[in-house]
Amino acid sequence: MTRCSIEKLMPEYIKNFEAYTPSKPDAELAKIYNCKKIYRLNNNENCLGPPSKAIEVIRRFDPKRAAVYPSGDSYYLRLKLGKKFHKDPNQFLVGNGANEVIGFTLKAFCEQGDNIITADKTFAVYEWTAVFSGIEARLAPLKDFDLDDEGMLELMDDRTKIIFICNPNNPTGTYWNSQKLRQFIKRVNNRAVIVVDEAYQEFVEKEDYPDSMSLIDKYPNLVTFRTFSKMYGLAGLRIGYLVGNLQIVDIIRRTCIVYSVNTLAQDAAVVALDDDEHVMVTRRLVKEGKAFLAAELSKIGLPYQCGEGNYAMIRLPIDDGLAYRKLMTLGVMVRAMTGFRFPNYIRVTISCPEAMQALIDGLVKIL
């Protein structure tokens, strides 16, 4: 089959969609940029790694179990989640990272001609997954770095099926408090599914931050996403989950791919949930890292945006792509934000003191 005939088989929305190109492995980047060590400040990973209990589970994993299919519905993890959050285990669905549960939800409720609504500067996977599924993504501009509730409501019509709210928002760190979220849900009035993505929920210490999971019994159109990739340091094992009331989860379950979550990820996640000490230590490290970053950036004179979560955005007087390449030669890996509609910004992970110092030293040198 010729290339021309293959392209005829593609839907129009795929022809106009550019694939995401991930960065090369660290070892290859070290060769390209001639640096001996790389400080990974690009993906909001936990520099402390997984909780100690999860590390022990990973160490003791029996290689023979690799030949056996995992639990198709993450049975024991759902039991654990139900016990921890005082819900029916059947209210939880586990996926291969939060990205997969985004896909589950879209497939369950959207068809061509429908639309989803989210912010124009938020976690990009909501938009990407919709677009490459042939679903229109309507984007409400941010307002003072925050998600604009009025803007989202104005975009709704009778074909709006899902509204995605990243709370706190990645990459700005802003969040909707409990009152604002409740008011928004009431105004949507069951006209669409509301997804609240709480990937960074464990990092938030603000008293008015809402636990959307506690609202699920009251609002049947509400779904909460969470992940083990950030606070719990299991990004490499790819595991996340959603929770909603039984009716909505039963609908989403029909689109799930069984066996997509590997055995080791399930085992590690089960024990990670018990490690409150890991959460406290990580929170303390992030709090101290933010204070250090704020003080040092003020000395340099660089504007920054830092709210909740384990990340911050820094505005540079030079192109962010150029800054990325220059910092890589110094072993500091950041996220260039032009592709995320924040030109001349970089996003950095709040990490260990050594990495934070390397970032500041690098910024001083390249500027």
Percent of the chain past pLDDT 90, that is, above it, reads 91
Helix axes 353-366, 320-328, angle to 10 degrees: 120
pLDDT digits 0-9 by tens, 254-312: 999 899 999 999 999 999 999 999 999 999 999 999 999 999 999 999 999 999 999 99
- Over 60: is that where the pLDDT of 347 sits? yes
> The whole model's pTM is what?
0.94
Give the residue range(s) of CATH 3.90.1150.10 domains in the chain.
3-50+276-366
| Amino acid occupying residue 149 | D
Reported in sequence order, the residue ranges of 270-352 that DSSP labels E, i.e. its strands, are: 304-305, 311-315, 332-333, 335-336, 345-349
Q: Which CATH topology does 52-272 take?
A: Aspartate Aminotransferase; domain 2 (3.40.640)
- Over 70: is that where the pLDDT of 4 sits? no
Per-residue pLDDT, averaged over 163-176, amounts to 97
- Which pLDDT band, with edges at 50, 70 and 90, does 12 fall under? confident
Find how far residue 156's CA is from the centre of its chain. 24
Q: Is it true that domain 3-50+276-366 has CATH number 1.20.1560.10?
A: no
pLDDT digits 0-9 by tens, 57-110: 999 999 999 999 999 999 999 999 999 999 999 999 999 998 899 999 999 999
SS (H, E, C) 59-102: HCCCHHHHHCCCCCCCHHHHHHHHHHHCCCHHHEEEECCHHHHH
Q: What is the pLDDT of residue 2?
A: 58
Give the residue range(s) of CATH 3.40.640.10 domains in the chain.
52-272
Contacts of 64 (CB under 8 A, 6+ apart): none
pLDDT digits 0-9 by tens, 27-61: 999 999 999 899 999 999 999 999 999 999 999 99
